[in-house]
């Protein structure tokens, strides 16, 4: 199933917030991403319907195995590209913005080849 860039961003944010604060609610996502609570609610409804998240009786949002797989993939790419761009001399703000764009469009094959190539150069 193809997942949209905005959904990937939400899943990545849920992953990062879970690691940072533990239990995550819609308001935490809203604050982190700078989106209106109503927009986040719609996105959470969509992610629930696609099976990427579950929401418990206390309103805490958890990634399903499918959601975690997507979030892990996007977050790995984000960390990889942002650190690589910074190491090339790109200022941090630009590197983070560019990494956010690149992480969504690069194929698995190209990303794997880049990681392998850079790892072989560093060893």
- Give the lowest-confidence range in 1-15, 21-35, 94-108: 1-15
11-24 average pLDDT score: 96
**pLDDT tens by residue, 82-113:** 999 999 999 999 999 999 999 999 999 999 99
pLDDT confidence tier of residue 2, bands split at 50, 70 and 90: low
5-64 folds as Arc Repressor Mutant, subunit A (1.10.10)
| CATH 1.10.10.10 in the chain, residue ranges | 5-64
- Quick one: pLDDT band at residue 1, thresholds 50, 70, 90? low
Q: Per DSSP, what are the bridge partners of residue 61?
A: 24, 55
What does DSSP assign to residue 7? Answer: H
pLDDT score, position 3: 78
Q: Where are the beta strands (DSSP E) in the chain?
A: 53-55, 61-63
Predicted confidence (pLDDT) per residue in 59-87, tens digit: 999 999 999 999 999 999 999 999 999 99
- Looking at CATH, the fold of the domain delimited by 70-122 is given as Diphtheria Toxin Repressor; domain 2 (1.10.60)
Average pLDDT for 16-34: 96
pLDDT of residue 118: 85
| pLDDT, tens digit, 9 for 90 and up, residues 31-50 | 999 999 999 999 999 999 99
pLDDT of residue 103: 92
> For residue 15, what are the contacts with CB-CB under 8 A and spacing of at least 6?
63, 68, 71, 72, 75
> What DSSP string runs through 17-45?
HHHHHSSB-HHHHHHHHT--HHHHHHHHH
């Amino acid at each position: 199933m193809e997942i949209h860039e905005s959904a990937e961003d939400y899943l990545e944010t849920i992953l990062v917030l879970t690691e940072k604060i533990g239990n995550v609610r819609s308001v935490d996502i809203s604050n982190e991403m700078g989106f209106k609570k109503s927009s986040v609610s719609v996105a959470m409804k969509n992610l629930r319907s696609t099976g990427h998240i579950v929401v418990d009786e206390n309103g805490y949002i958890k990634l399903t195995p499918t959601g975690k797989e997507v979030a892990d993939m996007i977050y790995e790419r984000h960390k990889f590209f942002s650190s690589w761009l910074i190491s090339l001399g790109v200022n941090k703000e630009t590197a983070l913005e560019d990494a956010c764009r690149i992480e969504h469009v690069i194929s698995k094959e190209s990303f794997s080849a880049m990681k392998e190539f850079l790892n072989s150069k560093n060893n």
